[in-house]
Amino acid sequence: MTSASANSPDRRWRTVQQVLHRGMFYLVLSVIGATMVLPFLWMLSTSLKTGKGAVEIPPTWIPRQTTIFANYGGREVKVSLLKKTAAVRRLDNGQAMSVYAQALKTRRALFSGQESVYASLRQENATVRVPVEVLATTARVRILEDGPDHERVVDLPGDQLIVRSKVDPQWSNYPTTWNKLPFGRSYINTAVVTIAVTIGQVLTCSLAAFALARLRFPGRDKLFLGYLATMMIPGTVTLIPVYILFIKMPELLNAAFHTDLFTSDLYFLGKYYIGRVAGSNSYFALIVPGLFSAYGTFMLRQFFMSLPRELEDAARIDGCGNLRIYWHVTMPLSRVAIATLATFTFMGAWKMFMWPLLILNTEELVPLQVLLQRFQGQYGSEQHLLMAGSIIVLLPLLVIFLFGQRYFIKGIQLGGVKG
C-alpha cells in the first residue's frame, strides 16, 4: 500500500477538503443568489395578499387569510376582534397597569431562548420600552355567527380566542389591477412601439453596417469615424432639440402641405384613439427616434468585418447584387449578432420612460412604464395592487430573458459595450 492508494488517510482527507470547499462555494453562491431573488419573491408574495394582509406586522411570506374564532358558551363561534388589552405588571417599578396588546412585544433571547415581554409606553411624547409581566389578557369581540347572540359585543379572556389561518393567495388582485388602469391598451402600445423600433433599428443599422464594412465609396471611413465619435454624446443633449422638433412638427407639416391633417386626431376603426400622424402625441414620435443607433451600426459593422469574405465573393461572381448579398449571405451568417442587437433594442425600447413622459399628454398612448408610474401615483398606498401591476409589467421581460439569455450574455461579450 502506497500513500497514493484510494484508502490512504492523506487522499481521504483531500476528498473531504474538496467536498467542504465545494459546499462552501455553493453556499456563498446561494446566499448571494437569495439576495437577488428575495425582493422578487417579496413582490410576488405581496401581490397575492389582501390590502390588509400586505401591511401586517410581522409580514408573512405565504399569503394567508386569518379567521378568528372564540370559545363562547361552550362552542366555537366566528368573531371579529375589536380590541385586545392586557393587564400587566411593570417589572421595573412593580406598578400594575392595563395596555393594548399591540403595545406588547415578545423577545426571545438569542441563545438561552428565554422569552421576555416588553411594553411600549408613551411617556411625555416619547415611546419607551419597559419589561413587563403579563397577568391576564382580555379580548373584546363581536360575534359574527348567526343566532341569538349575533352582533353582540362581549369581553372574553384572551386565551379563549382561536386564530385559524389558511393559505389564501388573492389571484383576483391581478384582474383588479388590470381593470384599474388601461393596462391592456398600454400593453398594445408598448408592444407596437417595441416591435417597430426593434425591427426598424436592426434593418437600418445592418444596412448601414453592411455598407460601412463591405462596400467602398468616397467618404466611407470618415462617415464611420463620425458614427464612432457621436457614440458618447449624452442622450440628454440631443433630447431637447428633438423634443422641440416633435412639438413643432404638426404645425410645420400643416403649413408645408397646406392641410390640417397633421394636427387632427386619428381613430383606428373609427373608435380607438391612436394620436396624431406625427409630432407629439403620436406613435410616430415614440417609434421614429428609436429607429437609428450609432451603437448598433458600430457593433454590427465590427461583426460583419469579422465574417469571411469568400461566400460573398462567390455570390458576387454568380451575379448577385449588393442587396441580395446583404440579405441572403451576410444577414444569415450574422444571426447571433442580429439577435443580440435585437434583444438589446427590445429591452431598451420596452423600458423607454423619459421620452414618452415628455412627448405624450394623452392617456391612450402611454407605454407600460409610464402607466405603472401613474398607477403608483394614484394607488401608492395599495401595495398589493402595485406589486401585481409591477409583475404584469415585468413578466414579458422575464420571458424574453429566459429565451434570449444566450444572446444577452454573448452580446455583452461581443460588443463589449453596455446596453
Partner 1 sequence: MSRRSRPVDFSWGGYLFVLPNFIGFLTFILLPVLASLALSFCSWRILRERSPSFVGFANYAKMLSSSEFWYYTYNTVFLMLGIPIGMMLSLSLALLLNRAVRGIRLFRMIYFLPTVTAGVALLVLWLWIYEPLYGLINCTLAEFGIEGPNWLGGGINLQFLQDWFGIDPMCYFAKPSLMLMGLWTGAGGYNMILYLAALHGINPELYEAARVDGASAWQRFKSITWPMLSPTTFFILIMSLIDGFQGGFESAYVMTQGGPAGSTTTISFQIFQELYENDRIGSASATAWFLFLVVFILTMFSWRLGGKVVHYD
Residues 81, 144, 253, 357: which binds partner 1 (CB under 8 A)? 357
Q: How far is the CB of 304 from partner 1 (least distance, A)?
A: 12
Residues 297-316 close enough to bind partner 1 by CB under 8 A = 297, 313, 316
Q: Does 220 bind partner 1 (CB under 8 A)?
A: yes
Q: How far is the CB of 93 from partner 1 (least distance, A)?
A: 22
Residues 48, 99, 196, 211: which binds partner 1 (CB under 8 A)? 211
Nearer to partner 1, 8 or 30 (CB): 30
Q: Which three cell numbers stand for residue 206?
A: 445592418
CA 315 to chain centre: 47
Q: How far is the CB of 36 from partner 1 (least distance, A)?
A: 5
Q: Does 36 bind partner 1 (CB under 8 A)?
A: yes
Residues 91, 347, 363, 364: which binds partner 1 (CB under 8 A)? 347
Q: Say whether 316 sits in a helix, a strand or coil.
A: helix
Q: Does 29 bind partner 1 (CB under 8 A)?
A: yes
Q: Does 57 bind partner 1 (CB under 8 A)?
A: yes
Nearer to partner 1, 79 or 352 (CB): 352
Which window, 150-158, 165-173, 255-263, 368-376, contacts partner 1 (CB under 8 A)? 368-376
Longest distance between any two alpha carbons in the chain, whole Å: 103
Which window, 4-12, 189-197, 215-223, 328-336, contacts partner 1 (CB under 8 A)? 215-223
Nearer to partner 1, 58 or 113 (CB): 58
Q: Does 238 bind partner 1 (CB under 8 A)?
A: yes
271 DSSP assignment: T
Residues 244-303 close enough to bind partner 1 by CB under 8 A = 244-245, 247, 288-289, 291-292, 294, 297
For residue 98, the tally of other CB atoms under 10 A from its CB is: 11
Q: How many residues bind partner 1 (CB under 8 A)?
A: 98
Task: Kindly provide the residue ranges of all beta strands, DSSP E only, lying in 254-406, ordered along the sequence.
Answer: 267-268, 272-273
Backbone angles phi, psi at 300, to 5 degrees: -70, -35
**Before 157, cis peptide (omega within 30)?**
no
Residues 107-136 close enough to bind partner 1 by CB under 8 A = 107
113 DSSP assignment: -
Q: Does 222 bind partner 1 (CB under 8 A)?
A: no
Q: How far is the CB of 159 from partner 1 (least distance, A)?
A: 25
- The answer to whether the beta carbons of residues 182 and 115 sit under 8 Å apart is no
- The answer to whether the beta carbons of residues 104 and 198 sit under 8 Å apart is no
Closest CA to 300 of 345, 363, 267, 250: 345
Q: Does 398 bind partner 1 (CB under 8 A)?
A: yes
Nearer to partner 1, 1 or 109 (CB): 109
Q: Give the up-direction half-sphere exposure of residue 97: CA atoms within 13 A in the CB hemisphere.
A: 17
d(CA 328, CA 216): 20
Burial class (CB in 10 A: 0-12, 13-18, 19+), 192: middle
Residues 210, 284, 298, 407: which binds partner 1 (CB under 8 A)? 210
Q: How far is the CB of 69 from partner 1 (least distance, A)?
A: 27
Residue with cell 392595563: 98
* Buried/exposed code over 246-283 (b: 16+ C-beta within 10 A; e: otherwise): beebbeebbeeeeeeebeeeeeeeeeeebbbbbbbbbb
Nearer to partner 1, 79 or 334 (CB): 334
CB within 8 Å of 360: residues ≥ 6 apart: 280, 281, 285, 286, 366, 370
Residues 188-207 close enough to bind partner 1 by CB under 8 A = 203-205, 207
Residues 54, 139, 197, 360: which binds partner 1 (CB under 8 A)? 54
Per-residue binding string, partner 1, 170-189, x by CB under 8 A, is --------------------
Nearer to partner 1, 222 or 271 (CB): 222
Q: Does 26 bind partner 1 (CB under 8 A)?
A: yes
